[in-house]
A and B are shown apart, each in its own frame.
Chain A
Amino acid sequence: DADVTQTPRNRITKTGKRIMLECSQTKGHDRMYWYRQDPGLGLRLIYYSFDVKDINKGEISDGYSVSRQAQAKFSLSLESAIPNQTALYFCATGDGGTEAFFGQGTRLTVV
């Protein structure tokens, strides 16, 4: 099983719909992150959490919200999806050590 699991892997949704992307990890790490990847722009940080009671905005948090349900679970929500939120979304975890561990990504298309 993967250390970081994202569900769903692919999703097509309509403009205005609410959608949740889920992430779970088996690394036992306290820190979790959500990134967005657009072609030609690299990865950009949306939100991050250093423990269950800690939530922080990243570079591009507008239009997104998150929930840290447990140490192992970190969800990203789009309250009202819009087409420019079409992107590849990655969840990551870390323990403050040298590596961040990424999931395989969720490809989201908003039509």
Chain B
Amino acid sequence: DAKTTQPNSMESNEEEPVHLPCNHSTISGTDYIHWYRQLPSQGPEYVIHGLTSNVNNRMASLAIAEDRKSSTLILHRATLRDAAVYYCILSDRPFGNEKLTFGTGTRLTIIP
């Protein structure tokens, strides 16, 4: 399975944009990129996913490099509620809820 590499931790100021990077240099052409986050004392929750094109939803944006070897999750205006562990996950299926393989993720701290 292709692996992902994320920074262990990041900090950001409240109300500023946050860019969470993910490297996946061994990604295959059919791998989808999924992002989940885990709030304190909660189970993980879906954030966004994409294949080649950049994606936007109400929670975040996903920017995918042209060579697909990296991607960036963008939170446009961080709030205290966005403090969580963010997981970047690859799946060889278009719909990622089958046997998701979680790494250790990036712990995002929001500074008031």
Q: Which of B20-28, B40-48, B69-77 contacts A (4 or more CB under 8 A)?
A: B40-48
Separation of A35 and B105 alpha carbons in the complex (Å): 16
CB distance from B1 to the nearest CB of A (A): 10
Contact of A100 (CB < 8 Å), options: B41, B46, B103 = B46
CB distance from A10 to the nearest CB of B (A): 11
B43 lies within 8 A of A90 (CB): yes
Known interface pairs A43-B44, A90-B44, A92-B43; A100-B96 also in contact (CB < 8 Å):
yes
Cβ of B66 within 8 Å of any chain A Cβ, yes or no, is no
Contact of A104 (CB < 8 Å), options: B43, B97, B102 = B43
B97 lies within 8 A of A105 (CB): no
How many residue pairs, one in A and one in B, have C-beta atoms under 8 Å apart? Answer: 63
Contacts of B104 in A (CB 8 A): 40-42
How many interface residues does B have (CB within 8 Å)?
20
Separation of A110 and B36 alpha carbons in the complex (Å): 29
Cβ of A84 within 8 Å of any chain B Cβ, yes or no, is no
Separation of A42 and B98 alpha carbons in the complex (Å): 17
**Residues 3-21 of B contacting A (Cβ, < 8 Å):** none
**Residues 91-107 of B contacting A (Cβ, < 8 Å):** 95-105
Separation of A102 and B85 alpha carbons in the complex (Å): 15
A45 lies within 8 A of B101 (CB): yes
Contacts of A45 in B (CB 8 A): 99-101
Cβ of A74 within 8 Å of any chain B Cβ, yes or no, is no
B41 lies within 8 A of A99 (CB): no
Lowest 7 A-B CB distances belong to which pairs? A102-B43, A94-B97, A100-B97, A99-B46, A43-B102, A42-B102, A42-B104
* B interface residues, Cβ below 8 angstroms from A: 36, 41-46, 49, 87, 95-105
Please name 20 further chain A to chain B contacts, defined as beta carbons within 8 Å, in addition to the given A98-B96, A99-B46, A101-B45, sorted by A numbering.
A4-B43, A40-B104, A42-B104, A43-B44, A45-B101, A90-B43, A92-B43, A92-B44, A94-B95, A96-B98, A97-B95, A98-B97, A99-B97, A100-B36, A100-B46, A102-B43, A103-B43, A104-B42, A105-B41, A105-B42
9 contacts between A and B (CB under 8 A): A40-B104, A42-B87, A44-B102, A97-B97, A98-B95, A100-B44, A101-B45, A104-B41, A105-B42
